[in-house]
Amino acid sequence: MKKLKTVIIGCGNIFTMHVTPVMHRTDTELVGVCDIKKDRADKAAKKFGTVAYYDYEKMLTELKPDIAHVCLPHYLHPVASQFALEHGVNVLCEKPMSIRYADGEECVKAAEKNGVNYGVIFQCRYNDASQLVKKTLESGELGNVISARSTLTWFRPDDYYNGSDWKGTWDKEGGGVIIDQAIHSLDLVNWFVESEPAQVSASYANRGHCVMEVEDTAEGLITYENGTRYAFWAMNNYGCDEPIEIRLLCEKGKVVLTYDDAWITFTDGREVHVKQSADNLVYENGKDYWGFQHVKQIDEFYRSVHEKRAPEISGKEALKIQKIVCGIYESGKTGKPVKLK
């Protein structure tokens, strides 16, 4: 098997979830890391025995890697992804793929034009609980989803925003609790519902964070072509990060998924339960609420590159949740429902 040359762009908080699985792989070599904050790039390069860059364009053109992980602030995702894709590099980008839907579409086109893979991280799909729910729905045992709801009640102190040069801003983060935190639960429910989203009606507000300008609270209703109704509520004003909760009312049973646990109760009385199995990798400074499934998605992405096929969570797949996220913001801003088709 060909050894793949990998680079990681952005050595901030999420870097650990990318570099740890990469360093454990036998089919890849970390040839470079990049951060405009020189101390971060230097520290990461020293620790992982690779080369530090402070300009990702220079790194990509000089090293010509096979794969680039994009771990940058949101507004730079499509900029860096597109540059890499157009230089023939396979890209695995952190969520969200972009702030604007059109920028995500441009990246999908660039990947297609250059014949390379473009994946977007939604690691929660690889939790054992998410996998059980998806497989059970696909098997038909639960019938269609009639109704869904998700709740996210997390804690982001003022310092979370004060300590960042991009979080809490419309131009660089692109929003708050929806585009950054609730995007995972929105993506999971949208993935579970086997129908096209037709419309979203939403509202958002900043109720508890005067230090920043974006929303810390949002709620809304997404309706699907087949009639499924999905109500969501998310906020960063609780005292701790409680597990996200997703409930599905299906034709032949009910699902309760609390992040890494899932209970399925069928109308015939059967019950199935799964709890996340332990992971062997140790992530320095990794956070529980991220889950620890980056390793699984990274593995699937690398296999897709070897096998010259699209990754499971491709850019095209990520456009689905991007459209919903952008629709939530548009609806919240205008106060009107937004068509998603």
Ligand X SMILES: NC(=O)c1ccc[n+]([C@@H]2O[C@H](COP(=O)([O-])OP(=O)(O)OC[C@H]3O[C@@H](n4cnc5c(N)ncnc54)[C@H](O)[C@@H]3O)[C@@H](O)[C@H]2O)c1
Under the binding rule (CB under 6 A), the answer on residue 7 touching ligand X is: no
Q: Which is nearer to ligand X, 125 or 323 (CB)?
A: 125
Under the binding rule (CB under 6 A), the answer on residue 35 touching ligand X is: yes
Query: What does DSSP say about strands 118-120 and 90-93: parallel, antiparallel, or unpaired?
Result: parallel
Task: Compute CA distances 69 → 65, 140, 143, whole Å.
Answer: 11, 36, 38
Under the binding rule (CB under 6 A), the answer on residue 76 touching ligand X is: yes
Count the residues of the shown chain that bind ligand X, applying the rule CB under 6 A. Answer: 24
- In the complex, what is the shortest distance from the CB of residue 161 to ligand X, in angstroms, rounded to a whole number? 12
Under the binding rule (CB under 6 A), the answer on residue 73 touching ligand X is: yes
Between residue 177 and residue 216, which ones bind ligand X under the rule CB under 6 A?
180
Q: Which is nearer to ligand X, 7 or 72 (CB)?
A: 72
Under the binding rule (CB under 6 A), the answer on residue 44 touching ligand X is: no
Q: Which is nearer to ligand X, 12 or 208 (CB)?
A: 12
Question: What are φ and ψ of residue 238, in 5° steps?
Answer: -85, 175
**Beta bridge partner(s), residue 219:** 203, 233
- In the complex, what is the shortest distance from the CB of residue 125 to ligand X, in angstroms, rounded to a whole number? 11
Residue nearest to ligand X (CB): 12
Under the binding rule (CB under 6 A), the answer on residue 11 touching ligand X is: yes
Under the binding rule (CB under 6 A), the answer on residue 74 touching ligand X is: yes
Gyration radius of the chain's alpha carbons: 20
Stretch that binds ligand X, among 7-15, 210-218, 272-280, 313-321 (CB under 6 A): 7-15
Under the binding rule (CB under 6 A), the answer on residue 295 touching ligand X is: no
Rounded Cα distance, 277 and 127, in Å: 9
Asked whether 38 and 54 are in contact (CB, 8 A), the reply is yes
Under the binding rule (CB under 6 A), the answer on residue 34 touching ligand X is: yes
Interface residue list for ligand X (CB under 6 A) = 9-14, 34-37, 40, 56, 71-74, 76, 94-95, 121, 123, 164, 180, 290
